[in-house]
Amino acid sequence: MIYENKVLACVDQSHFADYVADYAAWAARRMDAPLEFLHVIDRHPEQGSGADHSGAIGFDAQENLLTKLSAEDEARTKSAREQGRIFLNRLRERAIAAGAALVDVRQRHGELEATLAEQEQGVRLLVLGRRGEAAESTQRDLGRNVERVVRTLHKPILTVTAGFKTPQRVMIAFDGSIVTRRGVAMVAASPLFRGLPITLLMSGNESQDAPKQLEWARTTLETAGFEVTALLTPGDAERVIARTVKEQSIDMLVMGAFSHSPLRSLLFGSKTTDLLRSSTIPTLLLR
């Protein structure tokens, strides 16, 4: 069954998938939305049989080799599908046990970004691990797919870290931009954080309009019934956010993502990437 307006949890076969499942189940329950787990199998896995196929070979030998390679590829694909099916069913049972009502699973062959772009229209929230299978054997602190996926999609994306903790306190990093104003309106209208206290933080360069913008955000959230603590703290945004997360015991951060082009980020770095690398809590990214 294909659900619309769903929470889509993108998972790979790493232990990080359990945390994605836990946060996705939490979000689906809070939003009263269907949940779907998506596992994408790479069409071109970076692996080989290890056999040496070099050298000159005759026509018959070449045909036999192609047949053998085709059979090996089919066997690997079948094995990957079966492993993926077992893996997805386990996550489905985990989410149901956590209280998610409608849970479906889907397995696709292809590239992650293209597959997610195809799914985007029916997605209300995407949940993605900040690290994944490739990070199991490396010290990489941010999965290689995260930035590409966030730049590709235009839906809210919840990037999660290792370990699950039911969110009790939420902070919105607000800068007055269209993206974060839209984010405040989204939080106000959504049941995702209903009943949770909100810390509204505005930092960065000082601006004459900052108090007025912050007041708009606070009023919008309070009118929707939220308990709000509004803070205007000038200074380096990354440092201020990190300090406030610790001081206020924040469990989840909401922020805008990648306002600059990929080229600019390559040349000058990205605040979003820096914050994701340094943050130890789940972060809801707004596009």
Domain spans of the chain, in order of start: 6-44+80-160, 170-286
Q: For residue range 90-106, what is the model confidence (pLDDT) as tens digits?
A: 999 999 999 999 999 99
Q: What is the pLDDT of residues 224-260, one digit of tens each?
A: 999 999 999 988 888 888 899 999 999 999 988 755 4
Q: Residue 274 to residues 141, 236, 269, 271: CA-CA distances in angstroms? A: 11, 12, 8, 5
Residue 189 has a CB neighbour count (10 Å cut-off) of 10
Residue 215 has pLDDT above 90, yes or no: yes
CATH superfamily, domain 170-286, is: HUPs (3.40.50.620)
In this prediction, residue 67 has a pLDDT band, given cuts at 50, 70 and 90, of confident
Q: Is the pLDDT of residue 188 over 80?
A: yes
- 144 neighbors 4 (Cβ within 8 angstroms): no
At the top level of CATH, the class of 6-44+80-160 is: alpha beta
How much is the mean pLDDT over the chain? 81
Q: What percent of the chain has a predicted confidence (pLDDT) above 90?
A: 46
Specify whether the CB–CB gap between 130 and 161 falls below 8 A: yes
Q: Is the confidence at residue 265, as pLDDT, over 60?
A: no
Closest CA to 131 of 94, 93, 177, 163: 163
Banded pLDDT at 194 (limits 50, 70, 90): very high
Residue 189 has pLDDT above 50, yes or no: yes
User: Is residue 170's pLDDT more than 60?
Assistant: yes
Half-sphere exposure of 125 (CA within 13 A, CB side): 28
Would you state the structure tokens that stand for residue 97, as one six-digit string?
């046990």
Q: Which of 48-52, 67-71, 123-127 has the highest mean pLDDT?
A: 123-127
Calpha distance 10→8 (Å, rounded):
6
Tell me if 6-44+80-160 shares its fold with 170-286: yes
C-alpha–C-alpha distance, residues 233 and 247, integer Å: 13
Mean pLDDT of 137-141: 42
Taking alpha carbons only, the member of 157, 164, 158, 129 closest to residue 14 is 129
